Structure 1
Amino acid sequence: MTFQPTSLPDFSTTAVYGAPTQNSTNDTLCPDSDVWEWLQARQPVYILIITVLGIMFNVFVLMVFCLHKKPCTVAEIYLSNLAAADLVLVSCLPFWAVYISNRFNWSFGQFMCKAINLGIKLNTYCSIYFLVLVSIDRYVALVHTMSHGRMRRPKYAKLGCLLVWGFGLLLSVPALVFRDVQYFPEYDVNACFLDYPSHFAELLFDGMLIIFSFLIPISIISYCTVKIIRALKIQAIERFSGERTEQKATTLMMVVLLAFLICWVPFHVVTALDVLMRAHILAGCHLSNALEVCNQIVTYLAFFNSVLNPILYVIVGKNFRKKAEELFNQWTIIRITSSESTRSNQSATLKTLM
């Protein structure tokens, strides 16, 4: 990320994932983009909208999965953990909205600088690996139908989710270690940003982001998806009526996966191009300015995925809608019973007094 010569440095979205670096080429030869002021003026509003909707929707999803009288299936365990990861992300975003509104002056202290960005980074890794678990689950259920009863057990699903949270936390350690609040006298701001010890470390950790949060999981998901599609075609030809429940769950998984790819692939493509530019493999003022503007857009497109997932559960997930309706009816009965019990107690009290 480069410092803007006529305005504040871009400590916003790129600072979430990468480190700001001084680029003399940009300062001397590359003109400042007119898009910056327009983008930075609208980012806080957009972030707050995502925050409100994301918290409401993901809390609703977690309530349906956790409070329903029936235990969660293996796929629902994975999706509930995905909702939890999304909730962590959207809960961190208000601090970033305030940060941008304050012209990139961080006022929450060094601990919160590390913690907030740790939460954002954690979502980046965990969300994709929960989808990997969902893909593997669908693969086992549809491709290895004879053995899925032994392999697809809730206790194994919970263990898998625990490992994903631990793995995501491990990969997020650089954000915890290298995040720092530093005063920049030329801009009169205390900026929260990634302060890597060297240019090599910066490229190394950004490369790890691309490999571990995109290339490896997408390869696994792609393999499972191809096998799943083939299995669904075979079932359609042979008309396996007993697999309709699995097919419904698979349809929801496919839609959620497609939404994830639409929201996150542009971010990883821009990140890869940015790494190549900082490694001096690519160069050019126009490309540099385009990447920095695109980085703003694709990062917030990726954040929108945390709002989109719960909507897809309601639109596509028939089983989820059924659970939500049953939970609502359950609460209605409890409320009516409680109200009748209260009136009965009041009536008994009045009779005693009389």
Structure 2
Amino acid sequence: MTLQTTSVPENSTSDSGVLDLELYTALVPLLIISILGIVGNVFVLLVFCLHKKACTVAEIYLSNLAAADLVLVSCLAIFAAHTANRYDWSYGSVLCKLVSMAFKMNTYCSIYFLVLVSIDRYVALVHPMSHGRMRSPKYAKLGCVLVWGFGLLMSVPTIVHRKVDYFPEFNKTFCYLTYTDSVYWIYVGISAMFSFIIPVCFISYCTVKIVLALSAMSRFRGEDTENKATFLVLVVLVVFFICWAPYHLIRILEELHRANILKNANSNILQPIYQISVNLAYFNSALNPILYVIVGKNFREKVCESFKRVPELICKATNFHAVELDTI
């Protein structure tokens, strides 16, 4: 997600010792989240790709969520290098725009994949008979394409307004946003509405209906595949909200302070809290694969079945190459 500042960092002229401490506290979480996220999300995608059976509708959405998270944590590696370079951007204008686009795409794609998966669970449990045809892999893949397209469309302003400039007073080059005040407030309003408020309303409605349906169903039958898949989805949704709600709350407070509406707010207090909320939001992308393993019983079964196929696939590949060599 695009969580970078829209202006030149204020600590660019800080005392060296203070700056080193700030760099350390900012860099270490980025590195940990990046490494855990890359390993975990690659693992999830491998499991879904190696498994013999085709993915269910929910798994199609979760695999695309893993892909969106992988994009984010991969960009975090670049952001970590940028932080280690004392916020001096040395990667050029193109990478500045591409990394910012990837963050912004993740803002929209990750939450809308959760919207899709919550709608799928809602239809599966609340309206299994009347809308069952909607739950097909074909429609699921179409939905994922639309979400990726929507994320790309919403990242266009970020691509257009990202700029790289050298600031002599700091002796640094910065990758920053160049919105005017009027455009900035439009951007903030649209981003808040479409990246959090609207999707959270959909997710909340579906979640309440799902919980009610599960409580009613538990009286008549035991645990089944749909229930296990739904439990995993509910855990992912709750963890997503816990990770992202503080960030959006602090952003609202910061924007109110910026607009002089919240005049008593202390920016020195808001800034470190904001940084913690940012790292918590980033951590969600590394946490999802762990949740799949801990909570997802079906996913653990897929892991065992998928990696049992690895020797088989290696043998097939080896035999294929041997046949090719014999025919030369």
Residue aligning to 2:101: 118
How far apart are the structure 1 equivalents of 2:5 and 2:188?
7
Residue aligning to 2:168: 185
| Pick aligned residue for 1:78 from 61, 67, 80 | 61
How far apart are the structure 2 equivalents of 1:338 and 1:167?
38
Give per-residue Cα distances to partners, 1:155-196, cap 9 Å, x unaligned.
Answer: 000000111111111111121111111111111110111111
Distance change in 2, residues 1:36/1:125 (3 Å):
farther
Distance change in 2, residues 1:337/1:157 (3 Å):
closer
How far apart are the structure 2 equivalents of 1:41 and 1:299?
16
Matches within 5 A, 1:122-201: 122-196=105-179, 198-201=180-183
How far apart are the structure 2 equivalents of 1:18 and 1:47?
16
Question: Cα offset for 1:240?
Answer: 2.9
Q: Does 1:202 align with 2:164?
A: no
Q: Does 1:267 align with 2:250?
A: no
How far apart are the structure 2 equivalents of 1:277 and 1:205?
17
Name the TM-score, length of structure 1 as normaliser.
0.84
How far apart are the structure 2 equivalents of 1:336 and 1:115?
39
User: How many correspondences in the alignment?
Assistant: 319
Question: Once structures 1 and 2 are overlaid, which stretch shifts more, 131-140 or 288-297?
Answer: 288-297
Residue aligning to 2:326: none
| Pick aligned residue for 1:216 from 186, 194, 198 | 198
Q: Does 1:240 align with 2:221?
A: yes
Amino acid in structure 1 at the alignment position of 2:127: H
Question: Cα offset for 1:39?
Answer: 3.5
Residue aligning to 2:295: 316
How far apart are the structure 1 equivalents of 2:9 and 2:33?
31
How far apart are the structure 2 equivalents of 1:334 and 1:100?
41
Amino acid in structure 1 at the alignment position of 2:199: P
Question: Once structures 1 and 2 are overlaid, which stretch shifts more, 256-265 or 199-208?
Answer: 199-208
How far apart are the structure 2 equivalents of 1:143 and 1:17?
40
Checking the alignment, whether the CA contact within 8 Å between 2:3 and 2:278 is kept in structure 1 is no
Distance change in 2, residues 1:336/1:105 (3 Å):
same
Q: Could you say what secondary structure the match of 1:141 adopts?
A: helix
Residue aligning to 1:9: none
Q: Does 1:300 align with 2:279?
A: yes
Amino acid in structure 1 at the alignment position of 2:104: K
Checking the alignment, whether the CA contact within 8 Å between 2:96 and 2:162 is kept in structure 1 is yes
Question: Cα offset for 1:148?
Answer: 4.0
Amino acid in structure 1 at the alignment position of 2:99: I
Amino acid in structure 2 at the alignment position of 1:224: C
Question: Cα offset for 1:83?
Answer: 0.2
Amino acid in structure 1 at the alignment position of 2:48: F
Matches within 5 A, 1:247-258: 247-258=227-238
Checking the alignment, whether the CA contact within 8 Å between 1:50 and 1:90 is kept in structure 2 is yes
Name the TM-score, length of structure 2 as normaliser.
0.90
Instruction: Give the CA RMSD over aligned residues.
Output: 2.6
Question: Cα offset for 1:38?
Answer: 3.3
Give per-residue Cα distances to partners, 1:63-104, cap 9 Å, x unaligned.
Answer: 111221110000000000000000000111121111111111
- Percent of residue pairs bearing the same amino acid type: 55
Question: Cα offset for 1:40?
Answer: 2.6
Question: Once structures 1 and 2 are overlaid, which stretch shifts more, 243-252 or 298-307?
Answer: 243-252
Distance change in 2, residues 1:233/1:326 (3 Å):
same
Amino acid in structure 2 at the alignment position of 1:76: E
Question: Cα offset for 1:204?
Answer: 1.7
Checking the alignment, whether the CA contact within 8 Å between 2:125 and 2:213 is kept in structure 1 is yes
Give per-residue Cα distances to partners, 1:232-288, cap 9 Å, x unaligned.
Answer: 111112x134x711110110001111111111111111111111112221123x522
| Pick aligned residue for 2:87 from 97, 101, 104 | 104
For structure 1, the residue ranges without an aligned partner over 5 or more in a row are: 1-12, 24-31, 346-354
Q: Could you say what secondary structure the match of 2:224 adopts?
A: helix
Checking the alignment, whether the CA contact within 8 Å between 1:18 and 1:206 is kept in structure 2 is no
Query: Which of structures 1 and 2 has the bigger CA Rg?
Result: 1
